[in-house]
Amino acid sequence: MITGIYKYAALIRSRYLVKNVDYKLLVLSVEWHELRTPFSEFVKHAPYEVSGGKIVLNEKGEVTKINEIAVIEPPAQRQISRRQFLWRFQDKKSLEKGLSVLSKHMVNAGLKDFVFVESQSTELFLTGKFFLYFAQQELSLSEYDLLIYNQMPSEEYKEYKAKISELSEYVDKVGESADDVWITDYSRIYSEISSDHSEIAYPEKAADWFAKDKQVNIKVHRFGRFVDEHIDDDVIISEIIGEEGLSDYKLDLTAQLSSRPQLDALIRAIDNVFYFNNDWRSCVKDLIAYAERSNSVAIHVSTFSNEDILRTIAGLAFGYTGFLPQLKVEITRSNGESEVFFGFPEWDGTAPNFDKIIESYFENKTGYFLSHHFGENRASNIDVMNDLGLQYSVFSQQGDSVSRIRVQGSSISFSPKPIKGSIPSLISENQDEVKKIVEMFFQMDSGFRNIIGSWLEDEGLI
């Protein structure tokens, strides 16, 4: 069928001087049982309009009518949900019991494809403990909704629908549903599994949890379609971490320019990681188009984009770069040569007023930390940066000089506007103001205080 569609589309274009928007193809069949899924997949990606119709015959075999075929949602590719979970157990026996109870609970909730990663931590205060890290294949919102409807009492389901309706973003609706689908009756389940601690998890947490040498005796327990010898354990863990675009903060991905699926995956990852960062999102997409138009074979994008400029400034006041947004794009040519672009926040010299910023965007210091806890600060981060005279810029080094770039089709132009400064220069020229932000983080954020303290100790600075 698919071959036939391409054949007739090509014949139309060979006979008539038309654009893809000038014609529509109609696929008719008496039987659609084996055709509907591949047809729906094709319609989703077709470069021209396609519709389907089911031919209805009478007892004489005569056509009586044609019913339109509704396109269904094609089967999703492997995509691990951002909503993850972690349990701690005192011993191996408790873990095995927990694994049995939890896996049955997930199946009863309607989930088919999921994993539990068993491990032991190398951290001294966690020695001897056993852990289970849960991750599931992400479903569509309609699939989650049906599963939740089938298991929730009507009043709870109404509350769930009311909660979901208040969320504006589809990804947030899916995320909440990914939790709600199995969290029903969780209190009873938790009492059965002998876990002495549990907590929510997500790709950024997983990146730290599964960092090199932090976990030992790792075993991936697979369920559903994850039971597949072609999917390595390392692949599953890397996708839980979000190295291929699931993370909202980090990306490290290469795409071959000859591969449309790889480019599409890269573009989706860019849209995700730069959701609140319009400048880098548009520039990186322009660089992909630039690479496609030039004699290039691959493009690699790595970035950290946390959308939390106040935390970045507070960390850099100590010289700590772990909170600093960074971007690197490397384009590889067919001759093996490469072209590298990099990005960081640029400062225009505006004097900061942190008291006014806290009041304007968060009401008070506590408001900032509440906003950060729920991730709401990311939406206002670009406005905070503008008030501080900061913007996301992309640069290229030509010899000894660094220039801001503009991508124009198949060429790169360099801005004549001089680079005034960066976050370190903002800090050095406004030490009294920056001190206010540093004090706020040290007084109210123990996590920040511990990270900076550990880093200063590791660097031999204290």
pLDDT digits (tens, 9 = 90+) for 161-179: 999 998 888 888 999 999 9
Q: Using the predicted structure, report yes or no on whether residue 45 has a pLDDT greater than 60.
A: yes
**307: in domain:** yes
**177: in domain:** yes
Q: Are residues 116 and 138 in the same domain?
A: yes
**77: in domain:** no
CB 424 within 8 A of CB 434: no
Please state the rounded mean pLDDT for residues 148-172.
Answer: 90
Q: Are residues 168 and 301 in the same domain?
A: no
Q: Are residues 233 and 258 in the same domain?
A: no
Q: Are residues 114 and 12 in the same domain?
A: no
**End-of-domain residue from the set 68, 101, 120:** 68
Among the listed residues 302, 209, 211, 170, the one whose alpha carbon sits nearest the alpha carbon of residue 249: 302
Q: Using the predicted structure, report yes or no on whether residue 436 has a pLDDT greater than 80.
A: yes
**73: in domain:** no
Q: Using the predicted structure, report yes or no on whether residue 246 has a pLDDT greater than 70.
A: no
**How far apart, in whole angstroms, are the C-alpha atoms of residue 363 and residue 444?**
16
- Which is it for strands 215-223 and 114-121: parallel, antiparallel or unpaired? antiparallel
**How far apart, in whole angstroms, are the C-alpha atoms of residue 4 and residue 121?**
56
Q: Are residues 40 and 177 in the same domain?
A: no
Q: Where is average pLDDT lowest: 116-120, 244-248, 392-396?
A: 244-248
pLDDT score of 244:
64
The parent domain of residue 46 ranges over: 2-68
How many CB atoms sit inside 10 A of residue 189's CB? 19
Q: Are residues 203 and 279 in the same domain?
A: no
Q: Are residues 398 and 372 in the same domain?
A: yes
Q: Are residues 57 and 100 in the same domain?
A: no
**33: in domain:** yes
**End-of-domain residue from the set 213, 241, 269:** 241
Average pLDDT in the chain? 91
**78: in domain:** no
Q: Are residues 311 and 360 in the same domain?
A: yes
Task: Supply angle C-alpha 115, 117, 119, rounded to 5.
Answer: 170
Q: What is the pTM of this model?
A: 0.73
Per-residue pLDDT tens over the stretch 83-106: 999 999 999 999 999 999 999 999
Q: Are residues 202 and 254 in the same domain?
A: no
Per-residue pLDDT tens over the stretch 352-396: 999 999 999 999 999 999 888 777 888 899 999 999 999 999 999
Residue the block writes with tokens 């995700």: 272
Q: Using the predicted structure, report yes or no on whether residue 281 has a pLDDT greater than 90.
A: yes
Tokens at residue 379, please? 């939406």
pLDDT interval class at 2 (50, 70, 90): confident
List, in sequence order, every residue forming a beta bridge with 67; answer none if it has no partner.
54
CB 441 within 8 A of CB 316: no
Per-residue pLDDT tens over the stretch 291-310: 999 889 999 999 999 899 99
**262: in domain:** yes
**259: in domain:** yes
Q: Are residues 255 and 236 in the same domain?
A: no
> How many domains is the chain built from?
3
Q: Are residues 111 and 207 in the same domain?
A: yes
Among the listed residues 371, 295, 305, 379, the one whose alpha carbon sits nearest the alpha carbon of residue 338: 295
pLDDT score of 243:
66
